């Protein structure tokens, strides 16, 4: 038996009343900031998006709605790496105008060796793969997500 | 823009997939990714997703008509159904969150400027955890239709937004549930961005006399189906 699956629809502009009622941006208590901006094809901020972070190895999860400048901010720790892979968070992006959410990843900039050996990251050409590696930024990390264009973030299926 | 520019002809070739760059929905233009998706190894799709316990939900969270000091205006309804994988197996213990406009078609959200009344007794958000049969149940009021700025005289069919977590991260689904027979279906680019009419029909709930509560509320049922993960299929 194979039932047909339910299609996706956009999260729309008013999702905050439903899925951002409780703060959920702290994945750990004593972590460091992971901040960034969600940007559209013109490089303009997406002020009505939601970013979810998840780690299968650390069993942690969080989400954050973007502000008027497209900014999101999490408190995270570096999760353990799975065997043969570099440490990372899996990232989901939702927004008005996005009819299905998009899946991406954020890797850590101080893991050159592990990143070079990661089977997914190393399969991408270097310029494309670079869109998935956060940048050091003060005490934390910065990770911008670009929906379109030459520097579009890699999205996965 | 003409009506035909808003809604494209049916195309069953899309199957269950929504057309990400559907031209009639204007906001897709700068937001739908333009580069092809990169396919992940299959074992990624088997990784477990977040687990939400009963403590994620308060007792009255599935009753949107409670907790405001009075009854909301509008037609009281019960929306229920089951969360299943595509093999028909129930997905238990999953978090379902909903949000919606009030009976007048207005969201309790500062960005919503539609000149329809807010209802002090309706915030329009609920959540629940699926039971052992994958079942869920919400008590709410039927949302109104409302205008939006996508094109001339654009109105959304009445809908309830659903956010669903499955067992695996790649089962995540955010979608919208519609009501049977809505006259706005033919004009709505978001609904019609699901190009296969059979898939589109899966977004429409069914009126159900069995869950209609005498002297109290109309019943609508709607099942949600997520694709199975590779690990489950191995089992």
Is the confidence at residue B126, as pLDDT, over 60?
Answer: yes
Q: In B, which residues are within 8 Å of A24 by CB distance?
A: none
Q: Can you tell me the mean pLDDT for B110-135? A: 96
Is the confidence at residue B53, as pLDDT, over 80?
Answer: no
Is B161 tagged catalytic? Answer: yes
pLDDT of residue B50: 79
The answer to whether B198 contacts chain A (CB < 8 Å) is yes
Q: Which of B25, B146, B178, B220 is catalytic?
A: B146
- Cβ-defined contacts of A26-29 (< 8 Å, 24+): A26/A62, A26/A74, A26/A75, A27/A53, A27/A55, A27/A58, A27/A60, A27/A61, A27/A62, A27/A74, A27/A75, A27/A76, A27/A77, A28/A60, A28/A75, A28/A76, A28/A77
Is the confidence at residue B83, as pLDDT, over 80?
Answer: yes
Number of other residues whose CB lies within 10 A of the CB of residue A75 = 17
Residue in A1, A2, A16, A17 to test binding to B, most B beta-carbons within 10 Å: A17
Q: In B, which residues are within 8 Å of A41 by CB distance?
A: 29-31, 34
pLDDT of residue B2: 47
Region at A133 (left for phi over 0; alpha for psi -120 to 50; beta for the rest): beta
Is B156 tagged catalytic? Answer: yes
Give the model confidence (pLDDT) of B6-17 as tens digits.
999 999 999 999
Is the confidence at residue B183, as pLDDT, over 90?
Answer: yes
Q: In A, which residues are within 8 Å of B51 by CB distance?
A: 59
Residue ranges for chain A with pLDDT beneath 70: 1
Residue in chain A closest to B170 (alpha carbons) equals A103
Q: Can you tell me the mean pLDDT for B132-136? A: 97
Q: Can you tell me the mean pLDDT for B149-163? A: 97
* A96 CA: distance to closest CA in chain B (Å): 7
Is the confidence at residue B1, as pLDDT, over 80?
Answer: no
pLDDT of residue B3: 52
- DSSP, res B48: B
- Beta-carbon pairs below 8 A across chains A and B: 183
Q: Can you tell me the mean pLDDT for B28-35? A: 97
Q: Which 159-178 residues of chain B touch chain A by CB within 8 A? A: 161, 163, 169-170, 172-176
Is B109 tagged catalytic? Answer: no
Residue in chain A closest to B23 (alpha carbons) equals A97
pLDDT more than 70, % of chain B: 96
Q: Is B112 within 8 Å of B104 (Cβ atoms)?
A: no
Q: Can you tell me the mean pLDDT for B213-233? A: 90
* B116 CA: distance to closest CA in chain A (Å): 16
Q: Can you tell me the mean pLDDT for B88-95? A: 95
The answer to whether B49 contacts chain A (CB < 8 Å) is yes
Residue in chain A closest to B46 (alpha carbons) equals A56
A15 closest CB neighbour out of B108, B161, B169: B161
Contact A98 B198 (CB under 8 A): no
Q: Within chain A, how many helices (H) and strands (E) appear?
A: 3, 9
> CA separation (Å) from B164 to A58, B96, B167?
21, 5, 10
Is the confidence at residue B95, as pLDDT, over 50?
Answer: yes
Is B151 tagged catalytic? Answer: no
Contact B172 A61 (CB under 8 A): no
Helices (H), ranges, A1-157:
16-19, 112-117, 126-129
Task: Determine which of A1-5, B87-91, B145-149 has the lowest per-residue pLDDT on average.
Answer: A1-5
> CA separation (Å) from B163 to A66, A100, A126, A130, B138?
17, 12, 35, 31, 14
Is the confidence at residue B99, as pLDDT, over 50?
Answer: yes
pLDDT of residue B233: 65
The residues spanned by each domain of chain A are 11-146
Please give the mean pLDDT across all residues of chain B: 93
> CA separation (Å) from B86 to A4, A74, B135, B155, B228?
6, 34, 15, 32, 6
Encoding tokens for residue A5?
């699956």
pLDDT of residue B5: 67
B169 closest CB neighbour out of A5, A15, A90: A90
The CATH code of the domain at A11-146 is: 2.60.130.10
């Amino acid at each position: 038996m194979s039932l047909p699956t339910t299609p996706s629809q956009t999260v729309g502009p008013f999702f905050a009343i439903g899925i951002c009622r409780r703060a959920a941006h702290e994945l750990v208590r004593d972590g460091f900031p992971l901040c960034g901006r969600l940007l559209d094809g013109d490089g303009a901020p997406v002020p009505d998006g939601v970013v979810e972070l998840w780690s299968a190895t650390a069993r942690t999860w969080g989400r954050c709605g973007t502000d008027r400048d497209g900014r999101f901010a999490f408190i995270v720790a570096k999760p353990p790496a799975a065997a043969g892979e570099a440490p990372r968070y899996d990232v989901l992006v939702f927004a008005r105008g996005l009819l299905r959410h998009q899946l991406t990843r954020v890797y850590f900039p101080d893991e050159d060796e592990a990143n070079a050996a990661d089977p997914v990251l190393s399969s991408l050409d270097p310029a494309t793969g670079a869109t998935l590696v956060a940048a050091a930024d003060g005490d934390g990390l910065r990770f911008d997500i670009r929906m379109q264009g030459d520097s579009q973030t890699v999205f996965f299926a | 823009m003409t009506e035909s520019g808003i809604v494209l002809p049916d195309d069953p070739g899309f199957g269950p997939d929504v057309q990400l760059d559907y031209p009639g929905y204007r906001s897709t233009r700068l937001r739908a990714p333009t580069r092809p998706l990169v396919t992940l190894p299959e074992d990624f799709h088997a990784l477990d997703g977040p687990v939400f316990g009963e403590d994620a939900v308060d007792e009255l969270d599935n009753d949107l008509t409670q907790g405001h000091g009075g009854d909301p205006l509008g037609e009281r309804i019960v929306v229920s159904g089951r969360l299943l994988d595509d093999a028909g197996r129930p997905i238990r213990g999953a978090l379902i969150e909903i949000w919606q406009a009030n009976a007048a078609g207005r969201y309790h959200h500062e960005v919503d400027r539609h000149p329809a009344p807010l209802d002090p007794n309706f915030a329009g958000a609920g959540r629940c955890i699926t039971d052992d049969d994958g079942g869920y149940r919400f008590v709410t009021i039927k949302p109104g239709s409302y205008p939006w700025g996508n094109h001339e005289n654009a109105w959304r069919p009445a809908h309830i937004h659903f956010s669903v977590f499955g067992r695996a991260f790649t089962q995540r689904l955010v979608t919208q549930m519609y009501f049977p027979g809505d006259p706005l279906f033919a004009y709505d680019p978001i609904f019609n961005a699901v190009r296969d009419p059979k898939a589109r029909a899966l977004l429409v709930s069914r009126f159900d006399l069995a869950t209609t509560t005498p002297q109290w509320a109309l019943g609508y049922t709607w099942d949600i189906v997520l694709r199975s993960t590779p690990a489950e299929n191995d089992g």
